[in-house]
């Protein structure tokens, strides 16, 4: 099979997003077996990143290897890295030790390739390659540094495992897990009527909730939740990816506290919430008519024998604020659009948009252009399409997450704890999510799949 330089690879998954391949000719010396892109064109607004608070830092050439508590002891990827290190007598691995097989996509600060270690067996990795010269020229070094620091912190079954960092004077590479099931944006488009059923939405949303909860407890605000960033692992469970827009606190979240759910927000009781059709609100200064959501609090009656009044361990929200305008337009929270400063509640807003899109196949505030989309987010009331039919508890969850006032949004006070108790998640065993049967398990992927893809002009496979 002919070798092609990465510069000849197919276009980015989003033509509007900057690509870090302008100077990719320097990668010609690396081993590329294929340069055919295998991803759909994503016609969503690109991620915005006017983050100016980070300071540039120099990268140190190194190769890291950190075992994770949740990782299986027989992880073939770790074994492959260990064999490669032993073959080099324990010396650091470099980009020359990788064989790049396939371009999976590109983002704002780098491109992602399917890669294997030379002499490391058949284990495949997702290698995010970043051009340091371009990062410095575009003032993106800080974002790359933050992503690397966050990946080094993570140790969770629904978040990426950073197997190694490979550096050279021109390039920096993050070697993480390859997810053969693709992302939920592509998976949704392949569903009947391009939307998921209730059980699938509940499964994916529950795993996203616990992943966000873990990030918040580390003092990290994700800020870029969308179906494109939720990947399906080989076992059918999900993995959040792409942390270059995340906000990382120098201090972890506040210490965990025991909180009675009787002291939680008034909207935690479905019986006493306003109907979902009245749950969206607008910023008071807006002139566009909408249904307000600022209802007076009412004291809830104690229900004998019920779970109400029990103590909960809460380690959220994160005590960190930012004024940055970052995220994907259709998923931006109102407080980000208005530039009023935002905290961890923006992640629960994006969860609401995420669940809405999984059910309806579209985001709730999308306009004909980005400007109108932002105006809708701030001023337009939430409306549910008549079709398809979506269960009432799902609509109520979406409505509580898409409250425009962040102080009243579900999750703003008790974090994931309040969301887990919502009626939509009844029956979810949060302690045993890993044991829940996924709605979809991808078929095993091997090298032959990519050889066939190269020889097929109408290739329709999507990975990552």
Distances (CA, A) of 329 to 71, 332, 348, 439: 35, 5, 16, 29
Contact criterion met (CB below 8 Å) for 442 and 182: yes
Q: Give the relative orientation of helices 345-360 and 198-217 as an angle to the nearest 10 degrees.
A: 160
Q: Examine the residue annotation and report whether 74 is marked as an active-site residue of this protein.
A: no
- Relative to beta strand 325-328, strand 47-50 is antiparallel
Q: Which residue has the tokens 């959040």?
A: 240
**Contact (Cβ atoms closer than 8 angstroms) between residue 213 and residue 415:** yes
How many Cβ atoms from other residues are within 10 Å of residue 335's Cβ? 22
Distance, CA of 80 to CA of 116 (rounded, Å): 9
Coil, helix or strand for 450? helix
Distance CA 411, CA 407 (A): 9
Task: Find, among 355, 365, 442, the residue nearest to 179 by Cα.
Answer: 442
Q: Taking a C-beta distance cutoff of 8 angstroms, is the pair 423, 198 a contact?
A: no
CB 99 within 8 A of CB 117: yes
Burial label for 388, CB within 10 Å (0-12, 13-18, 19+), is exposed
7: preceding bond cis by omega (within 30 degrees): no
Phi and psi at residue 72, to the nearest 5°? -65, 150
Q: Virtual CA dihedral for 49, 51, 54, 59, nearest 10 degrees?
A: 10
Q: Which of 131, 224, 268, 396 is catalytic?
A: 224
> Tokens representing 46?
């690109």
**199-219 in b/e burial notation, b at 16+ Cβ within 10 A?**
ebbbbbbbbbbbbbbbbbbbb
> Which residues, in sequence order, are bridge partners of residue 312?
259
Q: Provide the annotated active-site residues.
A: 224
């Amino acid at each position: 099979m002919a070798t092609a330089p990465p510069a000849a690879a197919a276009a980015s998954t989003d033509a509007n997003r900057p690509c870090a391949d302008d100077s990719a000719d320097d990668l010609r010396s690396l081993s590329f077996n294929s340069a055919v892109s295998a991803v759909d064109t994503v016609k969503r607004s690109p991620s915005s990143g006017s983050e100016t608070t980070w300071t540039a830092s120099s990268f140190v050439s190194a190769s890291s290897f950190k075992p994770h508590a949740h990782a299986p002891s027989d992880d073939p990827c770790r074994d492959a890295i260990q064999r490669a290190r032993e073959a080099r007598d324990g010396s650091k691995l470099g980009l020359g030790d990788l064989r790049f097989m396939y371009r999976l996509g590109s983002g704002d600060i780098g491109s992602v390739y399917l890669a294997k270690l030379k002499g490391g067996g058949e284990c495949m990795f997702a290698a995010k390659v970043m051009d340091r010269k371009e990062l410095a020229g575009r003032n993106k070094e800080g974002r790359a540094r933050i992503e690397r620091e966050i990946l080094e912190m993570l140790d969770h079954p629904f978040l990426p495992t950073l197997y190694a960092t490979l550096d050279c004077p021109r390039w920096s590479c993050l070697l993480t897990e390859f997810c053969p099931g693709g992302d939920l944006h592509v998976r949704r488009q392949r569903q009947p009527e391009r939307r998921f059923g209730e059980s699938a939405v509940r499964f994916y949303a529950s795993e996203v909730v616990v992943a966000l909860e873990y990030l918040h407890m580390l003092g990290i605000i994700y800020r870029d939740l969308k179906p494109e960033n939720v990947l399906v692992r080989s076992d059918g469970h999900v993995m959040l990816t792409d942390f270059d827009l995340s906000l990382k606190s120098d201090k972890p979240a506040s210490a965990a506290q025991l909180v009675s759910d009787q002291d939680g927000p008034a909207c935690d009781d479905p019986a006493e919430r306003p109907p979902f059709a009245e749950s969206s609100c607008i910023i008071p200064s807006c002139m566009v008519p909408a249904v307000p959501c600022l209802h007076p609090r009412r004291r809830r009656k104690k229900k004998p024998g019920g779970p109400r009044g029990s103590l909960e361990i809460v380690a959220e929200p994160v005590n960190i604020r930012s004024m940055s305008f970052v995220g994907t337009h259709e998923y931006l929270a109102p407080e980000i659009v208005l530039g009023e400063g935002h905290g961890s509640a923006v992640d629960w807003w994006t969860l609401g948009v995420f669940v809405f899109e999984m059910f309806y196949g579209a985001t709730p505030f999308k306009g004909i252009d980005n400007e109108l989309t932002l105006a809708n987010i701030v001023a337009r009331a939430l409306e549910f399409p008549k079709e398809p039919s979506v269960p009432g508890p799902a609509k109520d969850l979406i409505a509580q997450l898409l409250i425009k006032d962040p102080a009243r949004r579900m999750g703003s006070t008790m974090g994931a704890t309040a969301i887990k108790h919502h009626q939509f998640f009844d029956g979810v065993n949060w302690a045993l999510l890993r044991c829940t049967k996924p709605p979809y398990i991808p078929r095993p992927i091997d090298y032959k799949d990519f050889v066939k893809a190269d020889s097929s002009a109408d290739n329709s496979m999507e990975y990552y």
